[in-house]
A = this chain, B = another copy of it.
Amino acid sequence: MTEPTDKSISLTEALSAWKTALAPERVCVDHGALEKISRTTLIRSTHPVCILYPRSTAEVQAVVKIANEFNIPLYPISRGKNWGYGDACAPEDGMAIVDLSQMDRIVEVNEELAYAVVEPGVSQKQLYDFLQQKNLKLWMDCTGAGREASLVGNTLDRGFGHTRYGDHFATTCGMEIVLPDSTVVRTGFCHYKKAHAARLYRYGVGPALDGLFCQANLGIVTQIGLWLMPAPEAFCCFAIAVDQYEGLSLLVDRLRPLRMSGILNSALHIANDLRVLSSRFHYPWEETGGMTPLPESIRRKMRKAAGIGAWTTAGAFTGSRAHVRASCHALKKALRGIGRLRFIDDRLLNLGKRVVTFLNWFGVGATLRGQLESLEPVYQLLKGIPNDEALHGAQWRLRRPPPHPPRDPLDYGCGLLWISPVIPMTGSHALAVSRLVEPIFAEYRFEPLITFTMINERSMIGILNVAFDRTDTEECERAVACYHKLMKTLMDEGYPPYRVSLEGMADIYQGSESYWEVAQRIKRALDPNEILAPGRYIPRFNK
């Protein structure tokens, strides 16, 4: 053992104190369990000293107190499904994982004012099922991270979904937080016991602290208010295919006025052909003879067979029937002369399924079936119905055949590194970023799997996937090199990311003026012992 003795002693004591504070079975040091929670789709993984499973805010407080006493740093996770950004891994070895998955109460759902209050252990599926079971006329927004992903976890990393409430942080209202010194603080109006608008008005009075607890390490969020959408009167999904690569530019510029005027009011995703293919197919190892990256001729062939364009967009309008009709009309008008636009509603989708059944009876209809199969999960996400299909993309480059439907990417050796630059919502920037990154992907023999999401009325988040096979050591090396080259290039060119993985944490400190120093000063004030998630976003004190 290379551990210094005093550290071992304090860990032993801490474990003993945690067992008393929680329960022995909720302090896990089992080697297998620690190995399992260390798995990642990134390259490097870190190893914790234990996993703690508190079940209440008071228990989280106790956990934090003991951590301070024995100087064991904590790394809180909600449900640990931080795909592409580090999963459940702490920034460094030797931390105690605080796994909040057993804090899974849906504390409150209010139908009239359309909100829920949830703990970090609540999964997308759990809230969705609850709304269904209670027959509440409320829709949630969900991400493609799968049914088991935590709502709180995604929100605290400022993740996003697909609907009008796609910007998750913007639709939170009131947090309960255990600070690194074990104080509990409630934001918004939640610190006034009787405030009726505690889950209805975000800012409260005085400085608003919520922003400090996203993408940071200043507290353990133990409860959060989430706004939900009243089920709309009408819903109409649309899909746009643009055949030419350069068509991206015009597509973005035509959609921007609709997004900016509020007609298009959801987090619209635009995917390139490869990203769409990766969500339905597996890398054609046989046809390419094992060669990477995907040759242009095969890419074209696959695109044609799948009946998709160079860029595909799927989104939805919700509202009154008349508003949805007006929005469909405005979209048609805006896209005149570019791309292929299709509207899909429940009726058409069901009809499509019946047609496929009919065609299958004649032995045809495979392409249509494929299209419907790939559309349906997206269609569900647009309605706030979580599903696991989007995880498919992580399997793209696996050497062995992936499972279908996709399962936990960690069980299959999926490698996935996400780079997520924020770019102005203009065609020229979208095309520029696309052109900037493609040669880098090619240089390292990966395919540029790309989506651009219109996250607000003025900007887009690009999600660039470096998908690789973790069982191939040489490919892992190329993947991480590709990642860093992409990060550096994008930072240098003025496209910093909206979110980073452990792998990219150091990149975001560069080229910045004073911001991180100020964040550090706040960190020192709230966490002088640097006990909470040291190295997560806010730089280490001594580094």
Contact = CB atoms under 8 A, between A and B. Distances in A.
Interface in A193-233: 193-197, 199-216, 218, 227, 229-230, 232-233
A296 B178 CA distance: 52
Interface in A218-256: 218, 227, 229-230, 232-233
How many copies of this chain does the complex contain?
2
A455 to B, nearest CB: 7
A391 interface: no
Nearest to A208: B211
Contacts of A227: 457-458
* Size bracket, chain A contacts: 35 or more
Contacts of A425: 113, 200
A518 B205 contact: no
Contacts of A194: 492-494, 511
A201 B455 contact: yes
A526 to B, nearest CB: 6
Interface stretch (A98-106, A261-269, A382-390): A261-269
A519 interface: yes
Contacts of A327: 323
A370 interface: no
Nearest to A216: B207
A201 B454 CA distance: 11
Interface stretch (A14-22, A180-188, A356-364, A474-482): A180-188
A425 B240 CA distance: 38
Interface string A466-510: 000000000000000000000000011111111110000000100
Contact of A203 (B169, B189, B522): B169
A34 to B, nearest CB: 28
A257 B231 CA distance: 11
A529 interface: no
Interface in A97-121: 112-115
Chain A facing B: main interface SS: loop
Given A207-B211, A207-B215, A265-B262, A196 B519 contact: no
Contacts of A205: 215, 496-500, 508, 537
B525 A521 contact: yes
B426 A459 contact: no
Nearest to A321: B326
A114 B257 CA distance: 10
A543 interface: no
A260 B164 CA distance: 11
Contacts of A183: 514, 517-518
A210 B211 contact: yes
A209 B212 contact: yes
Contacts of A186: 513-515
A373 to B, nearest CB: 31
A427 to B, nearest CB: 11
A454 to B, nearest CB: 11
Nearest to A233: B261
B207 A213 contact: yes
A429 interface: yes
